[in-house]
Amino acid sequence: MISCLVVVNPASGGGLARKRAAILCRGLSRSCRVAVIETRHRGDAAEMTARRGMDVDRVVAVGGDGTLNEVLNGLMRIGTGAHDRPELGFLPAGTANVAVQAFGFVQNPAAAVKFFLETDSRPVDVGVARFNDGERAFLLWLGAGFDAVVIDALNASRTGRMGLPGLIYGLPRMTAALGRYAAPPISVSVDGAFLGVAASVILANVRVMAFGAVVDGSADPFDGRLDVVAVPPGSRLNLLRVVRHMMTSGLSTLHGVRHRSGIRIRLAADDRVPLQLDGEPAGGLPAAVRLERGAVRLLLS
């Protein structure tokens, strides 16, 4: 009989995660052994997954993109490769849900019961960023510079409003944060070759970001590469052009933007540059990033 650990962020979606998890667990319990744990604060999901995930076949994260990222980080502490780790499933209950756009996860909890019992998993690439104080993994993307400034501002003003309402509510704080940000130059190297200096950098494992924005249309989480998209220094008015391009044809196609793919990337700056992983604040540069090919088995339709 399959064993399953369900990791729930009860705060996600204004309580929606707990309701969805209850439906999922009732259905799963008819055919497999189910254990449920709820997080209490940031970091809980990673710690609980690392501690209890080694004893189950599958781990299902129920919450938003941040919950999925924490569970991923917990899984990465188990074993040395995909086949040493339990399979990873995701039942979205957040508001941005970029992972749904990227991977097409089942959103209906009743439908997810059959899906998690019968679907096959597929090894997916995982990025790992090393900092002075340790490592953190990401499934979607890593951003350094302007997008991380926005994430920091949204996180500081988080009041339960997320998604588009949260973006609108936090707009004054984001505008002020971007106005204060000095945009120190970021030195970018890909697989040992210097790519150049940038004002902002995104390492994309998937093609999309929040609200339908496109980083690079060719980014593929199964190709064994990270797509590095570096925005050159310039006037802050160019930010409007960058955003417009991301909502239409994709950031990597914008004139002047540098695009490479690789498996080892180094980002450094002389002054503080904020960093985000999968839409969550992650400190600042410098960072050394590597791609681990097929590191986790993801439950996909």
- The one-digit pLDDT tens for each residue of the chain (301 residues) are 899 999 999 988 888 899 999 999 999 999 999 999 999 998 899 999 999 999 999 999 999 999 999 999 999 999 999 999 999 999 998 776 789 999 999 999 999 999 998 889 999 999 999 998 889 999 999 999 998 998 888 776 554 445 555 555 556 676 777 778 888 999 999 999 999 999 999 999 999 887 678 888 899 999 999 999 999 987 555 766 676 656 565 787 777 899 999 999 999 999 999 999 999 999 999 999 999 999 999 999 7
Q: Are residues 240 and 92 in the same domain?
A: no
- Tell me if 183 is assigned to some domain: yes
Rounded Cα–Cα distance for residues 227 and 253 (Å): 13
Domain span at residue 173 reads 131-296
CATH of the domain at 283: 2.60.200.40
Report the candidate in 99, 161, 164 with the shortest Cα–Cα distance to residue 126: 99
Same domain, 113 and 137: no
Number of domains within the chain: 2
Mark whether 139 and 282 lie in a shared domain: yes
Characterise 13 by phi-psi region: left (phi > 0), alpha (psi -120 to 50), beta (else): left
Per-residue model confidence (pLDDT) at position 237: 54
| CATH number of the domain bearing residue 67 | 3.40.50.10330
Question: For position 179, what pLDDT does the model report?
Answer: 77
- pLDDT for the residue numbered 159: 47
As a 3-state breakdown, the chain gives helix, strand, coil percent values, each rounded to 5, of 35, 35, 35
Domain's final residue, options 98, 119, 140: 119
Q: Which of 180, 176, 181, 174 is nearest to 145 (CA)?
A: 181
CA 184 remoteness from chain centre: 24
Tell whether 27 is covered by a domain: yes
91, 119, 147 - which closes a domain? 119
Radius of gyration of the chain from its Cα atoms, rounded to whole angstroms = 19
Side-chain-side CA neighbours of residue 249 (13 Å): 6
Residue 126 domain-assigned? no
Residues 82 and 204 in one domain: no
pLDDT of residue 235: 57
Tell whether 98 and 150 lie within a shared domain.
Answer: no
Give the residue from 268, 138, 269 showing the smallest Cα distance to 204.
138
Single pTM value for the model:
0.91
My answer on whether 153 and 254 are in the same domain is yes
What pLDDT score does 161 carry?
45
Tell me, yes or no, whether 149 and 40 share the same domain: no
Predicted local confidence at residue 236, as pLDDT: 58
45 in any annotated domain: yes
Looking at the structure, do residues 270 and 185 belong to the same domain, yes or no?
yes
**SS3 category, 106:** coil
User: Distance between CA 58 and CA 104 in Å, rounded?
Assistant: 19
One domain, residues 100 and 190: no
| Shared domain check, 250 and 195 | yes
The last residue of a domain, from among 74, 99, 119: 119
Same domain, 114 and 185: no
E strand or H helix at 48, and its extent? helix 44-52
30 & 86 share domain: yes
Instruction: Report the alpha-carbon distance of residue 284 to residue 286 in Å, rounded.
Output: 7
